[in-house]
């Protein structure tokens, strides 16, 4: 085909009898099956980008993890779930009553330096509480729990819970 003939062919309209829904019949209509592989690839890439690498090291903060007060027969106690990076500590807390009933939730912020821990807890309903103590070993925090008056400060120990 000469260049002049090609130009005339490209300007020629395709007869409607050759088309189905405005496409030449030789071009297949996109279907779910044709789009599925690109969707699967996209979803896989998103999960890969957002997920964690199983070979990646665990967080290095010595306070990172779940800490519980000593178990008591009634089921009451406090649980702190902490993330520790550099000197900062953040997380959440939860108080349990008799029978393990959830009493209140808290946002936890604090600091850690030279084995000393200071945490401030802001509860949804019960106001503020503070924990000031020290890391006694890799799995134990000992210190004082303080809430606004009339509650008196009291000694408390938190124990690290194993990762499940």
Who wins on pLDDT, 64 or 42?
64
Who wins on pLDDT, 25 or 120?
120
pLDDT at residue 129 is higher than 80: yes
Domain span including residue 140: 65-160
Mean pLDDT over 29-34 rounds to 48
The string of pLDDT tens digits covering residues 51-76 is 444 444 444 589 999 999 998 889 89
User: For the residues of 44-113, what is the DSSP string, one character each?
Assistant: HHHHHHHS--TTSPPP--TT-EEEEEPP-TT--EEEEEEEEETTEEEEEEEEE-GGG-EEEEEEEEEEEE
pLDDT at residue 5 is higher than 50: no
Share of the chain above pLDDT 70, in %: 63
Instruction: Answer for the pair 71, 77: CB distance below 8 angstroms, yes or no.
Output: yes
The string of pLDDT tens digits covering residues 113-127 is 999 999 999 999 989
Domain assignment present for residue 73? The answer is: yes
Alpha carbon distance 35, 105 (integer Å): 45
Check whether residue 18 and residue 98 sit in a common domain: no
Check whether residue 112 and residue 38 sit in a common domain: no
Confidence of residue 158 (pLDDT cuts 50, 70, 90): very high
Check whether residue 73 and residue 152 sit in a common domain: yes
The string of pLDDT tens digits covering residues 82-118 is 999 888 999 999 999 999 899 999 999 999 999 999 9
- Which of helix, strand or coil describes residue 116? strand
CATH for 117: 2.40.128.30
pLDDT attached to residue 141? 97
Confidence of residue 164 (pLDDT cuts 50, 70, 90): low
Check whether residue 111 and residue 145 sit in a common domain: yes
């Amino acid at each position: 085909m000469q260049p002049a003939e090609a130009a005339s062919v490209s300007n020629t309209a395709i007869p409607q009898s050759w088309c189905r829904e405005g496409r030449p019949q030789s071009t297949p209509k996109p279907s779910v099956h044709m789009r599925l592989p690109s969707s699967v690839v996209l979803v896989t890439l998103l999960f890969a980008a957002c997920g964690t690498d199983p070979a990646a090291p665990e967080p290095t903060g010595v306070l990172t993890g779940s800490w519980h007060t000593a178990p008591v027969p009634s089921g009451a106690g406090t649980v702190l779930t902490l993330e520790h990076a550099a000197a900062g500590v953040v997380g959440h807390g939860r108080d349990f009553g008799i029978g393990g009933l959830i009493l209140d939730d808290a946002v936890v912020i604090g600091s850690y330096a030279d084995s000393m821990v200071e945490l401030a807890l802001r509860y949804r309903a019960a106001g503020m509480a503070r924990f000031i103590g020290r890391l006694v070993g890799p799995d134990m925090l000992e210190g004082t729990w303080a809430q606004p008056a009339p509650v008196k400060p009291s000694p408390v120990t938190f124990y690290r819970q194993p990762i499940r």
